[in-house]
A and B are shown apart, each in its own frame.
Chain A
Amino acid sequence: MAKPVRILFVTDLHGSRRAFLKFLNALKLYKADVGIIGGDLTGKVVVPVVKSNGIATAEFNGQVHTIDSDAKRQEVWKAIEDCGYYPVDLSEEEVAKLGTDLEYSTSLFHDATAERLKEWSRIAKERLAGIGIDVYVTGGNDDYLELDEVLAASESLIFAEDKVQMIGGTHEMISSGYTNITPWKCPRDITEDELYSKIDSMAQKVQNRESAIFNLHCPPIDTMLDRCTKLDTSFDPPKPIAGVDAAGGSTAVKKAIETYQPALSLHGHIHESRGVDRIGRTVCLNPGSEYSEGILRSVLVTMGEKKVDSFQFLSG
């Protein structure tokens, strides 16, 4: 009988340095055999640090920080990165371009996110050396497609997107960071048909469906994993409609789970919908995300030979 596999799953870190470092530490603390990061590695905000008349300032979380020493710079930098934001030294002219030049601001974001991921990859290489824990990573709908190259080149993180991989020596896992169309029209938003086709093509290659794991960023629709606030898309960006709930999951993901009935399916995407649900024999889990507060939300799953032995939501 195969030894149970302990999987630590986290998702939607959105650039938070603090959450990522906690994840690496948690792998050892929770004695995990395998780590999985379920997509949406990209942060949401660039914080310009602007020098004028010899004084640098950064406005961040409603406060203006004057950076007058190396220690202060380090402190402000860390606080910004811990929240998942990107501090960038910019001139007055460059800041002015941010709001008007889409190509410039997009390029700035791409560079910042790629650099952050390369840094994470370097840190993971140091921290995971010699401890024998594999860490799998997929993209998420917020992640630019160019990031796939950065992840594929990583020596410490195993890029799992669009692949069937054997994890823990016993469980086949398929992974996709693509989602159904969201109001934000993110880089990996595709139609439900396209999403099903993507999942289906991977699932058909799975040899043993009973013990398989689906690592799909988008949760199945109408479950405890996809509850979110309804958005008013007449605004740009869309605004939440207070008190009105919606199901943000995917019909394609649900259909795939119903069809193939893997032992476990892991999801993220809807930060506020941490929870568990069952579709047939499949245990579906979303640990949620509180990256901006520097909190690591995770779920520790013990996989038996053909089923989930136990799972435990953790946050720290």
Chain B
Amino acid sequence: MAEIHGAFARKTSGVVRDVSLRDAFIFGISLAIPFAANFFLFPLYEFLLPGADWTTAVIIGFALSFAAYALYASFGSMMPRSGGDYVFQSRGVHPILSFLSVISLDVFLQAPVFLVILMLSSAELGFSPFLTMAGAATGNTWLISAGTWAGSPWGLFTIAVIFVLLALAANVAGLKWVGRSQRYILFPIIIISGVVITALLFSSTPSSFETNFNNYGLILNGTANTYGNLINAATSAGFTAPAFSWLHTIYLAIIIATSFLFWTVWTAPFFGEIKGANNFRNLFLTFVAGGAFQAFFLMIPELAGFQHGLGSSFLSAAAFQGITFTPTLSFYPSFGILTLMTTNNVIVMFLASVGFMVAGYFMAQLFLTNMSRYLLAGSIDGALPLSLSSPSRRFKTPLTALVLSSIVVLVWAAIVDFTPTQIAFWTDVAVWTGPVIFFGTSLSGILFQWTNPSIYKNSLIAKYKGLLLIASLIVFALVMFVFVGYVIIPELEVSLGYNGLGIIFGVALAGLLWYFGFKWYQKKRGIDIGLAYKEIPPE
């Protein structure tokens, strides 16, 4: 074996990319949506997909997610540019697709609505349960009231405003600081919370949990034997612990893949700021590591602990109550509050909840980064005003794009938080439009070798023959399954109604009008934005 000799660099200048692949990994796992959404939705899936085995579903979902990891690593290696999906779709298919799916539906609808729901779930899984349970454990009624307020419209909106303003400040300070804050604050806290939650759940038993649940039920709900009432209500309605179902496990695996594990690739919007983003292997491994962290640290141990510490019968009954609200409880049986009910120690409660609290904030930070980078990419192409890609003189970051993104999120926060009876509707809108990004990018991946043959042939991924096409086809098939499944599979049904469809098509139409109007305006100024979408042959 020959001795290895490193490259010899002369002393010279040049610093461009600020974010390391390690930071990209943390960005990816900061989208550890299970912390703030999956567990929040726990009763929904337990009720809608009875018999699904969560551990098996997570493992299958993780395996399916390799297709998305390969797809995005391939695009990163070919086009490591700011704007991610917007760039991939506009170059691989057509700018109208990218404008519709990324700028219109994602930046102005899906991302902000979903972020609002994530911040809301952070409040309802972190702040509200902690304050409520801390109050219950210490007999402090002020804390119980604060916990109730944190879950009220004004409480939710206040938390959203604080999160968005802090996230805006961090983003304005620069991506380097965003990365550092995630590395030194979010990552350790998530690990602490994950370990504490798992330890709490595995140290609990169904019988000790029954005692705790009844005690807290008496304090919070004012009723004795809350545990028994819950079980009886579900049993008398015919909803009992179901037998294992492969079909529901597969459905759940696809949902876990497309809704949660896929999203570790959502560093794509700032590929242009990641060192080594053009290295397929490293990028792919970064995504796999992020997915593995989610699956094997944030999902499986906690879910297994949940089964172990609370018991299947209770979980089924809790799921029934979470959907039907029968019997009436003064608290929502979310993952957060049920976990905290396994202890009486306020410090332990805080350590278990703090992950949810910070996850909501860091998602605000990441969503603002990504929304602003999509706007920046559209602006660089000339499809949006130049000011959206011009860095601030003082901060060197795309201030206008960040401020616009923050305003969009706060407008949606006001709409969603102050219509508490419509939260399921807004969740459906976000769930429906979520996979649109993957639809567009996987379609681009399918067509790319024919629409951009010279770029594809000259890229390093061309040597992995068929990889891009196969990965894209798998992602495309999974996304189409989700879209169709939401309509025709009763268990997965997401009912948008005319209002939901009207909002989605209205936002899409507004985007189309903007695209053609601004294109015409730019043409008058002598700027042909069509040039921006032409990839330059590299040979």
Contact = CB atoms under 8 A, between A and B. Distances in A.
**Are both chains from one complex?**
yes
B7 A276 contact: no
A90 B3 CA distance: 12
Contact of A22 (B80, B180, B538): B538
A63 B389 CA distance: 34
B527 A312 contact: yes
Contacts of A146: none
B276 A290 contact: no
A21 B10 contact: no
B513 interface: no
B259 interface: no
B531 A22 contact: no
Contact of A92 (B3, B14, B282, B532): B3
Interface residues of A, number: 76
A44 B176 CA distance: 24
A95 B5 contact: yes
Interface string B160-177: 000000000000011011
A132 interface: no
A184 B12 contact: yes
Interface of B: 1-16, 80-81, 173-174, 176-177, 180, 272, 276-279, 281-282, 380, 382, 386, 389-391, 393, 396, 458, 460, 463, 525-529, 531-532, 534-539
A293 B390 CA distance: 22
Contacts of A55: 1-2
B14 to A, nearest CB: 6
Contacts, number: 145
Given A18-B538, A184-B11, A243-B174, 13 more contacts: A57-B2, A63-B281, A99-B8, A105-B10, A227-B393, A229-B15, A236-B11, A243-B177, A272-B16, A293-B80, A294-B538, A309-B526, A315-B81
Contacts of B3: 50, 52, 92
Given A25-B536, A293-B277, A224 B10 contact: no
B458 to A, nearest CB: 8
Contact of B7 (A25, A60, A109, A316): A60
B12 A142 contact: yes
A277 B116 CA distance: 37
Interface of A: 4, 12, 14, 18, 21-22, 25-26, 29-30, 44-48, 50-53, 55-57, 59-64, 75, 79, 82, 85, 90, 92, 95, 98-99, 105, 109, 141-142, 182-184, 186, 224, 227-229, 236-237, 240, 242-243, 245, 271-273, 275-276, 289-290, 292-296, 300, 302, 309-310, 312-316
Nearest to B14: A271
Contacts of B529: 312
Given A224-B390, A271-B14, A46 B7 contact: yes
A294 B80 CA distance: 9
B396 A227 contact: yes
B12 A48 contact: no
Contacts of B278: 293-294
